[in-house]
Amino acid sequence: MRQVVPGPCPDCGKDIEYIYDTENIPYFSDILLLSGVCPDCGFRVTDTMVLNDREPCRWEMKVETPDDLNARVVRSMQGEIDIPEFGINIRPGPACSGFVSNIEGILLRAEDAVRRALLSCEGEETRNAIELLEHIEQARKSEIPVTVIISDPSGNSGIVSSKAVRTKLDVEAEPDGCTIHPLA
């Protein structure tokens, strides 16, 4: 169901249209897509919210072929993404939003984050960042395999592919937050 709701831009106060749209992702859940753009100041908001909680889960997929790069990825606001071959860990923060993408989109997000970090690197850090960018590019061309892992205590993240393996998570609360442990 699509709904357009007028409201003020949080940056400049001008009235803009916020678009709310629900969609069902097969094998997962209904999601709410939110978007809005202010033509005056350029403010943009996009968010994806999963509307149901499920059993905590962990998804893992070995990405080896060009077709694997097209596997749909749904990451909820609580989903954590790891690419162990590169030492990449994308944790949700306080302003985290969910999204729907594909494996290539995950690699592009990682590449973008490394490029931003590269601006403040020096010496050995610069060489390591450049090497990581080269590895990400190789993975995007399917020249090297990588593993994409998504852990989600809400159970609302996933990878839509016959190669993706879903397992249960054991979620334990700790004094400083939530720790996620995959079950064997």
With a cut of 50, say whether residue 178 has pLDDT above it: no
The string of pLDDT tens digits covering residues 133-158 is 999 999 999 999 999 999 998 888 89
More confident residue, 166 or 50: 166
Model pTM score:
0.70
Domains (range + CATH), the chain: 1-52 (2.20.25.420), 53-182 (2.60.120.1040)
pLDDT tens sequence across 73-106: 988 888 999 999 999 998 887 667 778 899 999 9
**Angle formed by the axes of helices 103-118 and 124-140, nearest 10°:** 160
Q: Which residues of 40-67 are buried (b: 16+ CB within 10 A; e: fewer)?
A: eeeeeeeebbbeeeeebbbbbbebeeee
Sign of the CA dihedral running 174, 97, 88, 130: negative
